[in-house]
Amino acid sequence: MIKNLMRGLALSAVLVSLLSATPAHAEVLVLSDAVGQLPEEVESRNGYQRTSFRHWNTGLDPADGCHTRNEVLLAEALESPQMSGSCALSGGRWFSYYDEQTVTDPAKLDIDHMVPLAEGWDSGASAWTPARREAYANDQDAETSLVAVTARTNRSKADKDPADWLPPAAGQQCRYVGEWVATKLRWQLNVDKRELEALKVLSDGPCENTAVVYTPAP
């Protein structure tokens, strides 16, 4: 009982800290509560084509000459790269949190869709308009929707959900799960049974103190 009380107090302190630094319109939930809000549905990949999600588009600032990929690289750089021509990037420094690797060549990075496009399709995006799918594929309004990571880990992940893949850096797995759930809630995507069971195991166990912060997509 005392142990559970201490955990509750610690988590309350984390949530209070997050709330004080979070925009008023954002939702902040304990991971287990966030997982409980995900609707369970049978997923289907019927009709999926990657081209159904137009990307990369002209990004947040069409006047800067950079498409979404390069805008994300610029936003996430720990050390800004040099930019030349039509937003050609060189140099710079990034931290790929999936495998805790420092990268100094932008060509060795992929921009990962936190919830992959195929998984998004399976989870409800198949019913969206092309414009909404484009907005999803280029979503820079939530910091966790797109993430610069090593090409190796992105391709290892492919289109898998947390039932089949977690970051190889064990210390980053709870962060990843929290951001996965946040993205699904942001875009009102569902989960299948295996995915939900995996998320429940994580939220009731090693990731019980993880907070989920998200803003519903327009």
**Domain residue ranges of the chain, discontinuous segments joined by +:** 2-214
pLDDT digits (tens, 9 = 90+) for 77-91: 999 999 998 999 999
DSSP class per residue in 10-24: HHHHHHHHHHHTS-T
Tell me the backbone φ, ψ of residue 79, rounded to 5 degrees: -130, 120
What is the spatial distance between Cα 108 and Cα 93, in angstroms, rounded to a whole number? 11
- What does pLDDT average to in each consecutive run of 10 residues of the chain (218 residues)? 46 48 80 98 97 97 95 98 95 98 98 98 98 98 97 98 98 98 98 98 98 97
- Count of CA atoms in the C-beta half-sphere (13 A) of 191: 24
53 residue type, one letter: F
- Evaluate whether 92 touches 104 at the Cβ level (below 8 Å): yes
What is the spatial distance between Cα 35 and Cα 198, in angstroms, rounded to a whole number? 10
pLDDT digits (tens, 9 = 90+) for 35-50: 999 999 999 999 999 9
